Structure 1
Amino acid sequence: MIIAEKSDRGGDLLEKLGEWVRGLAEGVFEGEVEAGYSGEGWIVLEPDEEILMSSIRLQTRIDPIASDKPPHTARISKLWEDRILIEYPSRGGRTFRKRIPAERFAAALGYGGDDPAGFLRGVGLGEGCPVSVAADLPSSLQLRLLFEQALKGLDRLLILNAVASEVDQILSLESVKALIAGYENLTLLTHLAYLRLGVGLEKAAERLRREFEAISGKIVVRALPWRILAEAARNLRMYFPSLLE
């Protein structure tokens, strides 16, 4: 199966990812799960079994498995001040790329200011991040996810290029547990940790960066302040009340 994610980490990530996915289906799937890269750099998991797909979908907020129908899980490969470049694979591995005005993309998420690129980075949609899209705009799923995050009223840390087992390992450390209120897997390699009230965002981000450095210097931790999301969420509630029920 083609996964709508890329990574510049080596075989250690692939090995850990295969082991983690295999563990999801333990007891109902016999055999090994192999992870690799397609010719265009997308992650590939074998075998292409429905039980593995179902297990992955149950553990992620955004379905990371390539689809030929919208919504598509895309990767933000470039973010300029005025436009955004997304890419996503088909089930057969073909890559589709779309350039979209950053202002239009941010407006679809409830933002009406003059720094759409800064807003997108601030809500976790910067370069390398996953996003659910339909008709070249954030899908209803993406809107709901951001709205749910806003309702929590907590600053967040976005963790990129890491397997869930690695995130579990770091967030269970005594030096880290007191900072974190909870976390969720957005996709197989992207995770969102919520900070406890009163915890300093930049301080927590720096702590996690140091801890993840011991696993791989290519794991990225980004600080996402709640305040950037709050105004957009109010607009979403105003303009899309039925969508966000």
Structure 2
Amino acid sequence: MDAFTRFTNQTQGRDRLFRATQYTCMLLTYLLEPKAGKEEVVTKLKKLESSVSTGRKWFRLGNVVHAVQATEQSIRATDPVPRLCLTLANLNRVIYFVCDTVLWVKSVGLASGINKDTWRRRAARHYCCFLLLSLVRDVYEISLQMGRVARDRAKREKTSSRDPPAYSVADEETEWLQSFLLLLFRSLKRHPPLLLDTVKNFCDILIPLDQLGIYKSNAGVIGLGGLVSSVAGIITVAYPQMKLRTR
């Protein structure tokens, strides 16, 4: 209970809960809309999704400051690849939150003359760049982990040559693929924060790709991806040790 209280007292924690609720409503709406007799439930789900989405905008108003701080931290990373990827990613994230704030100003009527569609596309474009760069960093970290696991395995096989192989197939191409997937599985299993970050970024990128028309998805896919990403985000907020750290 104490952990839940600490979680809900954080702005990020409340935002993750609201986000999970929003995409759950989207997924349920997609599943229930084709069914007869569910019109009232679908209407309520759509209203709840809209209300939660509006509420989340309030939580994001101060995120520009957090994104600027994250940019400053990423510049100090020792590894040049994460330093470059995260710095560029966080700069795009700053611009995304600026665009998001402009859209909020337009939605509450504080300013006129703002083209909502233009700013929405800008926000989606910078959010997509942020996620792509974050995924590049994830792929780099995965390659490092796979290299460590491969070296550890080679040492074990060298010291104990009598151990049976982990797999045995006749086809060389299948053998390579099986070896790669096994190595990938062991690498992500050894580093859960990297697994969570990769899953979260991969699921999230479906949203801006759909908004920009690059890869169209239906509401069910976006709802499921958003829900999975939100759950991963909830875990990283509730358990800070599960957050992928910058080296």
Indicate the TM-score class for this superposition, using the shorter chain for normalisation: under 0.3
Normalized against structure 2, the TM-score is what?
Answer: 0.25
Q: Which has the higher helix share?
A: 2
Q: Computing the radius of gyration over CA atoms, which structure comes out larger, 1 or 2? A: 2
Q: Which has the higher strand share?
A: 1
Question: Which of structures 1 and 2 has the larger relative contact order (alpha carbons within 8 angstroms, sep 6+)?
Answer: 2
Normalized against structure 1, the TM-score is what?
Answer: 0.25
